Structure formats: structure tokens, C-alpha cells
A and B are shown apart, each in its own frame.
Chain A
Amino acid sequence: MGEPLVLKDHSGESQIFFERAIIGFLVLIALMLFLLGRLFHLQIIQHDMYATLADQNRIQVEAIPPVRGLIYDRHGEIIAHNMPSLNLTIIKEVSPDIDLTLSNIDDLIGLSAEEQQAFRRRLERRQRPYEPVPVIFRLSAEDHARIVVNKNILPGVQVEATLIRHYPQGSLLAHAVGSVRRINENDAKRLDRVAYSGTNHVGKIGVEKHYESILLGKVGHKRVETNARGVVMKELDSVDPEVGTDLTLHIDAALQRVSSAALAERRGTIVAIEPSTGGILALVSKPSYDPNLFVTGIDHETYSQLLESVDVPLFNRALQGQYEPGSTIKPLLGIAGLVTGTISPDDVISDPGWFRLPNEDRLYRDWNWRLSDTGGHGEVGLQKAIYRSCNVYFYDLAVKLGINRIHQYLDLFGFGKNTALDLPEARSGLLPSVEWKNENRGLAWFPGDTVNIGIGQGDMLVTPLQLATAVTLIANRGRWVAPRMLKSGYVLDEDRNNKDIDVVPDYIWDEIISAMEKVVHRGDQELGENGTAWAYIGKDIPYRMAGKSGTAQVVNIKQGKEYDENELSERQRKHAWFIAFAPVEEPKIALAVLVENGGGGSEVAAPVAREILDYYLKRKTH
């Protein structure tokens, strides 16, 4: 010890330490209480908030899609059902190199650039990590096998079975029933996210669209516990989905097949209605398309072909096609004339083959008038005017009725408005009036406009469905039934706006129906006295049918010219109409047939109508 001895103040040092230790102890107690306070705050005061956060962390809800309701025809034949389909999916987290995986899939079974893009979009929209994202829908058995065999080079790739909408009738009922399509981004904005979670499709057209909410069913869900990486650890609880409601339609698939076959390869449309119910038995629009193409996502090429075809197969002629009604309007004008007392059944006019308004030069021709100034129907009363389809009689009647009364009576039959109950694509057509012309054309109504309306030409437009509805009303003698698809499975909302046509007394119905019968059945008479359709369909008909032909011009025939089929290209030819119901005594079916650019109604459209009626009336079950 080289240092000098230092005398330490032991007592003093002990005292200093004691003080400091006690101060330290007090600080320690204070900090302990501070920690306790903090934990109390988190665990007791904020407990509810953090408990919720913890649950949100771990609990994920997975949707279980409901099974969509089936659609049957009136005899229980399946129209739309759900088929198991194999989807190829990828779990991103398990597939370290998505690009490589996609290119491997491409090598094995082919994967278009479009499909890859769609997959990437879906990948961005997925809800949680580890969620399988579909790459290919409806894997074929062969492709499935290839995928399974090469599983080792496809990390994260899975094949999942789901149910997918399928229309076993293919193109037959595409326009009648509509279809579901894949939910696109616009749909996603509009649709309820919860109800459609786990569902890839939504009814976009027709019955599938109108009854979407009840066909869909109710989504189920299971709550699963996932860890921080999103891997499902266990299922906590689940709510089963509710199956969608099955629907039975009035559609008669067999009749639809016969109707479609009757049109053969011609463009055209047929709407057949059961008069007692308004139920649509057949709704054909040709050409058609396979709705199944749209369920899985149609490829670009096929879609543009469908879209750009001059035959517009995607266009529903029966509901959206708006045509001039032509002579099919005549029985209705006859009713208006009789009810208003403008004419009586016995009034007769003389038909020189043309009609001319007072103080006008223009000639309104009859259909059998020639430039040589031959033709005309001679002495014509109402009955003959209908079964011979005399234009001049109705030119005259239309002028006498005036546009306002024509509008009033045609309105009773549902023209110019959409009366369909569950056909979302149905259009209103056009029933012209003085107000309409003023508003839309800025022009006054001319007497000549009225003349044209007399034979269903000019501005008036109807859909085949509207014309079928009108003939149904004649068959029902004025009792209103709105056209409908749904037969059973759900309660239909009836339209209370349509009132029965009770201004027409029975004898007038008899008069008109009898005239329409003669269109088909009056035969073996001298030239110019047979019903217009008799020669084509009436000679061997075993039941009583009431009908009326019509021919709608596609191009105007100039003054001083004749309609010559050979001069016009195929698509400029007249549309052939035929409306009918049968049997006359107790109508079971009413229909409207249109053959686009077909030519004369009696010659072209009437045989189609008869083929359908023959089949339907011969069959025992309806």
C-alpha cells in the first residue's frame, strides 16, 4: 500500500447510500404503479376494443355459395341446371414464381394471354392471403389429368370442383330463358357484395335476370380461424347456404323445338301464348346462340363473331325486334270500327284497287293492284276485307276512325307499351298519335299518316310478343292476360293496369273471329273469294283456326312502281307475318310468326304457324 491511509467516513457513506436506496425504492414503486396503470388501461379499460381487434386478426369469413335454383319447362323438362365443373386455381403464397407456374400451365394445357390477364385481375381482387384464385374454368377431363400428373412442377396449383350453370338445351331456349353471365366490374359495383361473395355469375338476361333474387338463394358462410400468414387453422362455425328457388316456366320445350324446326334456317321469330293464362309456350328468335358460351367466359373471337354477324344472333327478335304489323292489324281496326259505329258488318264499299284522299293526288294501293290499273276486290264488306285482306277498305275505315280513335282502341290491346310481366328485355313498340308526332317529329298529323296506319304501316311498330298478346286477347274475347314466363315456384306480380276489353260486345267478337276463321278456312270459291291463307294451309286442316296474315314492307315502294321480289335484295324483301289461334271454339294456343324478309305472310308465315298448331293440338298434354 504505497498510498497514504485515507480515513473513510463509513457511517456517512452508509447514510448516503441509505438515502439514495430509499429514493430509488420510491421511484421503483412509482414506476411499478405506472406499469400497472398502463396494463390496467390496456387490459381492463380498452379490453373490448382489443378483443375485437384480436378477433378481426384471426377470424376470416369464407363464403359458401348457394346452389342456384333450377328452371323447368311446364312438363318438368330441365331448362337450366347446375353442373359440376373443375376449376384450376392457384394459391399465390404457395407458388413462389407465378409467371413460371403460368407458363408451365400454358405448356401443358394451353393458357391464352387473355386468360392470364383475367387471372391477374382476379388475383388483385382476392380478399385474403392463401385464397385460391381461379385460372381456368371448366377443365376438361384430359387437361385435368395432365395437371394432376405434372403436379410437381405446378406449386400452389389446385383443381377445385364447383357448380356452374348449364343450359342443356343449348341455343334452343337462349332467347326465351336468358342466361347467367360472369360478374364483371360494373356488376360488382351494383351487386350486394355479401350476397354474391363466392358466386361468380349473375342472371343477366331474361328469366335468369328477372328472377335473379329468388334463383340466387342465400349465401352461407363459415368462419375460419387463420394465422398471421392467412393459413386456415380451423373452422369455427358455419351457416349453410340456402338453395335458390326452383322455377317452372310456361315454356313448352317440345313445342319450342317444333317451332324452331318450323322456322328451319330462316331468320324469324315465333311467340306462342296460352290464352287462358298468358303463359308463353314458345318464344323463338332465330338465329340463336349457345348461352353456355357466356357462362364460362367467351373468348374474344367467338364473341365478336356473334356481335358482328349481320344475322344478329344475340338480338332477341321476339322481344326487342320492332316491326310494322302490316295487315295483322286489320281485325283490330275492324273491332274499333264496329264498336264506334263507324261501320256496320253489312256496309259495303267498292274497291277499285286504290284509295285516294280528297284533294290529294297520291294513290294508296291495294296489294293486288297493278300498274296496269287492274286489281281491286270489287264490292267489299268487313268480313271480306279481312279474309281477303283488302287494303282499300281499311284505308277508308282508318280515315273515318281518325288517328285518335285508332290510338284509343289499339292501346286497349297493349300496343305502344310493355305489358310483359317477367321479360326484362321486352320493348314497347310504337303506337303513333298526334301528340307523339308533334313531340318527336315536330310535325302535324297528316291524313295520309292515318291511311297508312289502316294497313299497319307508317310509323307504327310492334314487337312479335305484342302481336301475339293482341291475338291472345282476341282469342280470349277481351279478357286480359299479360304475357308471362313463370308458371309456378313463385308469386308473380300481376300488372293491374291492363283492364279487360269490355267495350266490345260478343257479336263483334263473333264477327271478327269468324272473319279470321275465313282467312284460313274459306276455300273452293271462285277467284278472289278464298281466304288468303286457305290455299297454303286451309285445305286439309282438321281443326278450326282463326288467323290473319300480314306483310310488312322493309323498303318503301315508290309511287308508280310495283313491288318486285326479284328487283330487291334478300334483306329488302317484305317480312312475312301470321297471327293465329286455335281451336276457335276453345282456344288453347295463340301465336304470332314473323319470317324476316320471307315474303307474303300467308304463303311463308302461315305454314309455320300451322305446323306449330298441328303439333300442339294433336298432343294430349298441354
Chain B
Amino acid sequence: MSDEEELSLLETLDHLLDRGVVISGEAVISIGDVDLLYLGLNIVLANVDAIIRTSNKR
């Protein structure tokens, strides 16, 4: 996967996991055994790292 593709996928996942209205009365805080907040944070950090990496290649 190229850096651009990786960045696009990370951004899509970031939006999916961290944006939009929360409609469940009982908030989903984990998917599988993975804490959703932790997963979201890791995606954000990976995302920022990918932005910087891709930017440096320009």
C-alpha cells in the first residue's frame, strides 16, 4: 500500500470511528476486545504520522 493509500484509509477509519452522532443509549466503548477510544487514538496518531511522512516526500 502506498503512503497516499495508507493515509486515505486511515482518514476514512478515523471518520468512521470518531465522527458522527452517537445514537446508542448505551455507548459502545469497545469493538471486540479493543477499546474504541484507544483504537481511535492510535488511528489519529498513525494518521498524523502519515501526514507528516507524506508531506516530507513532497
Are both chains from one complex?
A: no
**Chain B residues close to A by CB (< 8 Å):** none
**Chain A residues close to B by CB (< 8 Å):** none
